[in-house]
Amino acid sequence: MRSLPALTSLRVFETAGKCLSFTKAASQLNVTQSAVSRQIKHLEDYLGVPLFVRRHHRLELTAAGQQLLSKLEQSFNLMETAVQELRDPNQRQKLTLLFPPTFATRWLAPRLADFHIHSPELQLSIHNNDSEHNIFDCHIRFGRTARPNHYSELIMLEQHVAVCAPHLLEQAKQLNGNLLHILHEGQRLPVWENWLQAAGLTGEVDVNGGMEFSTLDQVSNAAINGAGFAIVDKRMISHELKMGTLVPFSQIEVSGPYGYWLDIKAERQGLAKVIRFTEWLRQISPD
């Protein structure tokens, strides 16, 4: 027998811990406020520690309450998934993924046929917007460091190359200020500064001017049409490089510091479909 308090008390505590209100928890659970209070009291008596601090007109979780709430949320999510998979057999085969739009379009899409060969039993559901209504099995994230409280693995570092439209190759010798910049979280990525440093050109080119764009697709399209010069991850423009619509104007390449990370919440790590996807990511060539 497992040494556990009543499941009802745990469920009531999770709801109250999220709401930080017995009244709101009672409304969500369709019970009385006194019933919520009794369940919390039973759980605190069982654990021997207070879970809430009662302030004037509000509740706060104690350190013990915060610790318990975090673990319970993971456990209830895992139980919900297990039950849902049995209720809906197709759900076991659906892998729900959150991807940056550029990564999904330019890197993942050309490799989907290979994934289907590797895991034909899995159906992918690919999203590029986070939503509280979706429970994502895996998240591919653009960033510099691992994500706290997740299994977080670096899939690939960016490999930056300097490119332009073919008819601008001669002008690239001077880099006359038509620089194209990529924004990330509202700020310009320092890709030009990093590349100029690697090329030994720091201070010789004004990086403050130029145009800035919110996506790599916008930057690459602007570069193709002769708007200026760009430093981009070569993996994301492999088609343009192959077709010759974008050409390198230097042999200098710079690795990182940004890259693409695979993030998995603790309660999703043991799922067979997640393990299959992770195996595929590790074995496929990033180039």
By the 10 Å C-beta count (0-12 exposed, 13-18 middle, 19+ buried), 165 is classed as: buried
Closest among 142, 95, 126 to 262, alpha carbons compared: 142
Asked if 194 and 232 touch (Cβ cutoff 8 Å), the reply is: no
Burial letters for 266-283: b for 16+ Cβ neighbours within 10 Å, e otherwise? ebbeebebbebbbebbee
According to the model, what pLDDT value does residue 173 have? Answer: 81
According to the model, what pLDDT value does residue 1 have? Answer: 57
Residue 220 burial (CB count, 10 A): 24
What single-letter DSSP state applies at residue 177?
A: S
pTM: 0.68
Q: Where are the alpha helices (DSSP H) in the chain?
A: 7-19, 22-29, 33-47, 63-87, 101-103, 112-118, 191-198, 216-224, 238-243, 272-283
Strands 94-98 and 123-127: parallel
Partnered with residue 119 across adjacent β-strands are none
Before 257, cis peptide (omega within 30)? yes
Hey, what are 280's tokens? 């595929």
Terminal-residue alpha carbon distance, the chain: 52
SS3 172: helix
How many CA atoms does the CB half-sphere of 4 hold within 13 Å?
Answer: 10
According to the model, what pLDDT value does residue 133 have? Answer: 56
Distance, CA of 72 to CA of 135 (rounded, Å): 16
By the 10 Å C-beta count (0-12 exposed, 13-18 middle, 19+ buried), 132 is classed as: exposed
CA angle 221, 227, 231 (to 5 degrees): 70
According to the model, what pLDDT value does residue 17 have? Answer: 92
Cα dihedral 64, 67, 69, 72 sign: negative
pLDDT in tens, the chain (287 residues): 567 788 889 999 999 999 999 999 999 998 999 999 999 999 999 999 999 998 877 889 999 999 999 889 888 888 877 777 676 665 568 899 999 988 999 999 999 999 989 988 888 999 987 765 567 899 999 999 999 889 999 999 999 999 999 999 988 888 877 899 999 988 999 999 999 999 998 888 888 889 999 989 999 999 999 999 999 999 999 999 999 999 999 999 999 899 999 999 888 888 888 999 999 999 887 77
According to the model, what pLDDT value does residue 129 have? Answer: 78
